[in-house]
Chains A and B, each alone.
Chain A
Amino acid sequence: MSLPSEYLNERNALEREILKHRPSDVLQFSYNHFSKRLESQRQEFILGQRHSSESGTGLSNPFGGTSAPSNKKVMNSTIREEEEHDDFASPTATSFPPNARDNSNNMASNSSGGGGFGNFGNFGFSPSSGSSSNPPPAASSGAMEHPQSFPNNYNMNRRTSVSAESLAPTSADDSNWKAPQYPKTADQVNRLRDAVAHNFLFSHLDDDQTAQVLGALQERKLPTKDMRVITQGEEGDYFYVVEQGQFDIYVSKSGKVEPGADGMGNKVATNGPGTSFGELALMYNAPRAATVVSTEPSVLWQLDRVTFRRILMDSAFQRRRMYESFLEEVPLFSSLSNYERSKIADALETTKYPAQTPIIREGDVGDKFYILESGEAEVTKRGEAKPLKHYGKGDYFGELALLEDKPRFASVTSTTEVKVATLGKDGFQRLLGPVESIMRRDDPRKNEKK
């Protein structure tokens, strides 16, 4: 007669534990083991029951049942105020009794959800080796609700991973890729610039990247009405800006276009010149969320994902390599590894100065280091008639400020429009620690002064 598998499983688990811990007092150890097993099994049983009583509410609001009508708007507009406005964000907030701040809606929704989450509070943990360290205080297992400001339609399902095409920077694979450039009039460029200005994917670009992206937009003519530009549910590769004409946008509830006359679903909007659609395709390949159809002969500008992301990647990659090669020239950083230099390159910030602007003033206490990315500058000192030095691309200055808090020895003034990359002392220390200790790694030879 065979023993129940449940028993064998428990026995095996105990044996594994005994092998692992080799206790001196086997009986006490086994007693502790089973007492813990019993506790966790009972807790899980409770959890399982809660689960079954909750079935079917997979899409409910974890913040309770309040359905503020303008929830989405609240979400988007109060982001900034949230923290300052938080009446209860005092250091003692966690000691409010659970649910003290809940409104009745939340209470109701929690209890209908199969008991308050406070039930879960008994999942404390403790070291199994019987040490005396206290479990952390069971803080804030309640009163997490902030009913008015969280979206109440959070999708509680399993989330799918996304990925775009694998890209390697141009200079790394020698293919010498250049973004395609399609000629446009100044008017067209301006209209395109306006059309994408509100879109965060474009608003973070620098002038150079923007010029490349706008140049890469390609004209697409739609000679008649009723032409489908994108189809809901299909793979998305392009982003579009409307130059001329009108487009109707349809959304089908099933997530894709169904056969038949009304297969595209309901018309939800009409787009005219200056509007854009399909921007998610610039991130990765996701099914289109709507169908877009021309209602008259029209003209679009289109841009594909790989081109867009390559422009971003190549310019980021080139800038980073440029910074790294500049940094290699700085004696102060000669002991840094490539990895550390790349971390500093991450932290450099670009600033632009018009011609004839002071960048460093003699006598000020400096806390920043500068690399001249483009343009020219000169060094002057009070009492000296002529500039002491001229700086061009790749030259650096102010690095002693990373070491000591002495006043600047001379002034540096731009002679043309310049772009400088800067790094503050605090930024450097945050990433790599004190400059002195970095320098001590090297042989004690003095870095020559510039």
Chain B
Amino acid sequence: MAPAIVQNISSRLHRMSQSAADKENYTQREDEKTKLAEWEAEKRTLEPNEVAQSPDEKPVGHSSKYLRREDFDLIKTLGTGTFARVWLAKIANRKEKDNNKVFALKILRKVDVIRLKQVEHVRNERNVLASVAGHPFITTMVASFQDSDTLYMLLDYCPGGEVFSYLRRARRFNEATSQFYAAEIVLILEFLHDRQGVAYRDLKPENILIDADGHLKLVDFGFAKKVDNSKNIFGAVLNFDADTKTGETYTLCGTPEYLAPEVIRNTGHGTAVDWWAFGILIYEFLVGQPPFWDQNPMKIYEQIVEGKVRYPSAMSQDARDIIGGLCTVDVSKRLGNVKGGSATVKAHPWFKNIDWDAVYHRRMQGPIVPHLKSADDTRNFDEYDAEPVHRDPYTKELQSKYDQSFADF
């Protein structure tokens, strides 16, 4: 008999022996599942001060003690990473009316997270997603939970797929489309930096999804990190790492073409890296490829630290100016990081036609609205290989050493 099955049976026997507690848990689970379905029906975005509430007080973002893997049917893989797989999921044993309620369930094996030295990153990801849940342009973590060897994050499903796919198909976006998407991203960065003190650190078209209404959702917060708490006026409770009090951090992470010069040179970096990456992103939207590229990654980094951006001849002066301001090597001169912060980015002439209040309240019509047959339509996602059968076991040793780190997941 396969070890997994043995384990499954034994854990079931174990559970049956605690039937009284189990019954109570069952009620709680059913209650949670009902709430999940209710949330999915409306998908209400929260006002900024609601988002800032503790995850236990808002409808989304809490760590659930009751939800289990068996509460969900995994329909199809939506994406894979080095240590995670995201599934389209529906509530198991659902009522007929909940058939169109869909989620994205991100599944991480503890053993892989440890092997790839991503424990801190995964903890950061859960904590940041919990504290930003409800923002209109950030993926909503409805709940997180875990079992003995696996971590789960239940997210909202964005049926439009990645901006990356649309961009590669279209080769480049016209200026109006680029401005629309860039405007929504400015609001994300403003919120993360000014309200949350969080640096996102992996901005790129692959991490931006399009929702059913054509608006953006930023996903994959694996590298997001609290770097500064001085401006969090709502006083959410946060764990301080040794180096988070001063607004800088040192771990190199991101995507080669989007790395900021200070990350490459390891001189300490903060939220300014996102403004650099934002400049690269606008460039890639307008041109179809990022400004610094070579087949040899070391040559990319050499170009980045030199920081000389070349513009195609027909790029508008405003676009050149905003990209040049954002992609400034000297962080003390970089647009977005100077006095005024994100407000100076929003006031830039390239955004002169943007009504920022209309953007936040999603009153603008998105340039691409996905056409979908049904709520669980996955046509905008690529096909992925099935999950490998072989799995390293999460041993007792690893468990005793690391489970504490996952305690509040």
Majority secondary structure, B binding face = loop
Query: Among B166, B252, B314, which residue has its beta carbon within 8 angstroms of that of A142?
Result: B314
Give Cα A144 to B174, complex, Å. Answer: 10
Give Cα A36 to B364, complex, Å. Answer: 12
Query: Among B245, B253, B289, B339, which residue has its beta carbon within 8 angstroms of that of A430?
Result: B339
Q: Is A330 an interface residue (CB 8 A)?
A: no
B316-359: CB near A (< 8 Å → 1, else 0) gives 11010000000000111100001100000000000001010010
**Number of A residues whose C-beta is below 8 Å from B?**
114
On chain A, the residues within 8 Å of B100 by CB distance are 5, 8-9, 12
**Number of B residues whose C-beta is below 8 Å from A?**
101
Q: Which parts of B248-277 form the interface with A (CB within 8 Å)?
A: 248, 250-257, 264-268
On chain A, the residues within 8 Å of B121 by CB distance are 163, 166
**B206 touching A136, Cβ below 8 Å:** no
Q: Is B299 an interface residue (CB 8 A)?
A: yes
Query: Among A131, A154, A164, A204, which residue has its beta carbon within 8 angstroms of that of B305?
Result: A204
Q: Is B147 an interface residue (CB 8 A)?
A: no
Given known pairs A140-B316, A280-B298, A346-B332, the reply for A117 and B171 (CB within 8 Å) is yes
A44-55: CB near B (< 8 Å → 1, else 0) gives 110100110010
On chain B, the residues within 8 Å of A338 by CB distance are 230, 245-246
A186-204: CB near B (< 8 Å → 1, else 0) gives 0000000000000011001
**A172 touching B243, Cβ below 8 Å:** yes
**B365 touching A127, Cβ below 8 Å:** yes
Binding stretch for chain B, among A293-301, A308-316, A372-380: A308-316
Give Cα A19 to B308, complex, Å. Answer: 49
Q: Is B177 an interface residue (CB 8 A)?
A: yes
Nearest CB on B from A144, distance (A): 4
Give Cα A129 to B357, complex, Å. Answer: 12
**A76 touching B299, Cβ below 8 Å:** yes
Q: Is A361 an interface residue (CB 8 A)?
A: no
Q: Is B175 an interface residue (CB 8 A)?
A: yes
**B353 touching A134, Cβ below 8 Å:** yes
Query: Among B176, B303, B363, which residue has its beta carbon within 8 angstroms of that of A135?
Result: B176
Q: Is B398 an interface residue (CB 8 A)?
A: no
Give Cα A154 to B294, complex, Å. Answer: 8
Q: Which chain A residue has the least Cβ–Cβ distance from B242? A: A172
Give Cα A153 to B289, complex, Å. Answer: 11
Give Cα A283 to B242, complex, Å. Answer: 23
**A50 touching B169, Cβ below 8 Å:** yes
Give Cα A125 to B245, complex, Å. Answer: 42
On chain B, the residues within 8 Å of A167 by CB distance are 250-251
Nearest CB on B from A177, distance (A): 13
**A43 touching B368, Cβ below 8 Å:** yes
Q: Which chain B residue has the least Cβ–Cβ distance from A91? A: B317
The 10 closest A-B pairs by CB, nearest first: A347-B332, A163-B253, A172-B242, A40-B369, A62-B288, A141-B174, A88-B313, A143-B314, A82-B310, A123-B367
**B residues apposed to A, CB below 8 Å:** 42-43, 82, 100, 117-118, 120-121, 164, 166, 168-177, 179-180, 202, 204, 206, 212-214, 222-223, 228, 230-231, 241-243, 245-248, 250-257, 264-268, 286-289, 293-299, 301-303, 305-306, 308, 310-317, 319, 330-333, 338-339, 353, 355, 358, 363-375
Q: Known pairs A136-B179, A162-B255. 8 more at Cβ < 8 A?
A: A8-B374, A62-B171, A136-B175, A156-B289, A161-B202, A164-B253, A313-B266, A346-B331
**A residues apposed to B, CB below 8 Å:** 5-6, 8-9, 12-13, 16, 19, 36-37, 40-41, 43-45, 47, 50-51, 54, 58, 62-63, 72, 75-76, 79-80, 82-83, 86-89, 91, 93-94, 96, 101, 113, 117, 120-121, 123-129, 131, 133-146, 149-151, 153-156, 158-169, 172-173, 200-201, 204, 279-280, 283-284, 286, 289, 309, 312-313, 316-317, 320, 324, 337-339, 342-343, 346-347, 427, 429-433
